[in-house]
């Protein structure tokens, strides 16, 4: 197994999960953005799905991806607000072995610069489950761009210093 270095960056298998009662593949601009962005960063789209905003449907699909050795990271978009069916945090948090508290904090700080106090309505969160890193962000394409460009891209880049999450994911790395 090759060790990640600045000259040998790791390609991760990443799943993109859109949580929505209304989106389809044709109009899922947030999921499409994340799939394109991870590809542009040199990663592989391992799977992509849209699931209804239902705690058990979210957990079922996410649990399968967490158990899949081909998926190192999952990007979840949608369901992080306070409206009636928004249930991504309730669905995902129990699956975490470890929380990444700083993700939500920094996401909201970055988002504040763009949308002001409305950022407090985001329950963005992240954590690890079975050595899979999971990032949950709001459903808007702008919020996904803020999260990807401001946090996630660097943390999934094995050459990012002083640290990144790829080393933690190394437990599951396959021969590439």
Q: Tens digits of per-residue pLDDT, 130-176? A: 999 999 999 999 999 999 999 999 999 999 999 999 988 864 555 44
Neighbours of 64 (CB within 10 A): 13
Rounded CA separation 11/176 (Å): 8
pLDDT at 1 > cutoff 60:
no
User: pTM to 2 decimals?
Assistant: 0.92
* CATH number where 114 lies: 3.40.980.10
Q: In the β-sheet with 98-99, what is the strand arrangement from edge to edge?
A: 44-51, 13-19, 73-77, 132-137, 125-129, 98-99
Q: Is 7 part of any domain?
A: no
- Contact by Cβ (8 Å): 131, 171: yes
Rounded CA separation 16/45 (Å): 8
CA nearest 82: which of 115, 31, 124, 28? 124
- Average pLDDT of span 93-116: 96
Tell me the three state secondary structure of residue 77. Answer: strand
Q: Quote the number of domains for the chain.
A: 1
Q: Is 146 part of any domain?
A: yes
Q: Is 113 part of any domain?
A: yes
Q: Is 4 part of any domain?
A: no
Q: Is 137 part of any domain?
A: yes
Q: Which domain holds residue 65?
A: 13-172
Cβ neighbourhood burial of 29 (10 Å; 0-12, 13-18, 19+): middle
Tell me the three state secondary structure of residue 2. Answer: coil
Where residue 2 falls among pLDDT bands split at 50, 70, 90? very low
Rounded CA separation 4/147 (Å): 24
Residues in the chain: 176
Residue with tokens 């945090």: 89
Q: Is 156 part of any domain?
A: yes
Q: Is 87 part of any domain?
A: yes
Rounded CA separation 49/51 (Å): 6
- Encode pLDDT of 65-99 as tens digits: 999 999 999 999 998 988 888 999 999 999 999 99
Tell me the three state secondary structure of residue 65. Answer: helix
pLDDT number for residue 83: 85
Q: Is 56 part of any domain?
A: yes
């Amino acid at each position: 197994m090759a060790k990640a270095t600045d000259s040998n960056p790791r390609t991760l298998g990443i799943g993109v999960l859109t949580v929505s009662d209304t989106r389809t593949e044709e109009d899922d601009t947030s999921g499409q953005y994340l799939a394109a962005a991870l590809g542009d960063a040199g990663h592989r789209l391992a799977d992509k799905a849209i699931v209804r905003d239902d705690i058990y449907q979210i957990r079922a699909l996410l649990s399968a991806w967490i158990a899949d050795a081909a998926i190192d990271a999952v990007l979840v978009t949608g369901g992080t607000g306070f409206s009636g069916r928004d249930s991504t945090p309730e669905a995902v948090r129990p699956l975490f072995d470890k929380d990444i508290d700083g993700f939500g904090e920094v996401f909201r700080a970055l988002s504040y610069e763009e949308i002001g106090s409305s950022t407090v309505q985001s329950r963005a969160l992240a954590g690890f489950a079975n050595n899979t890193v999971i990032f949950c962000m709001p459903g808007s394409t702008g919020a996904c761009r803020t999260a990807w460009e401001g946090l996630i891209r660097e943390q999934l880049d094995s050459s990012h210093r002083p640290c990144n999450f790829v080393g933690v994911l190394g437990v599951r790395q396959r021969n590439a």
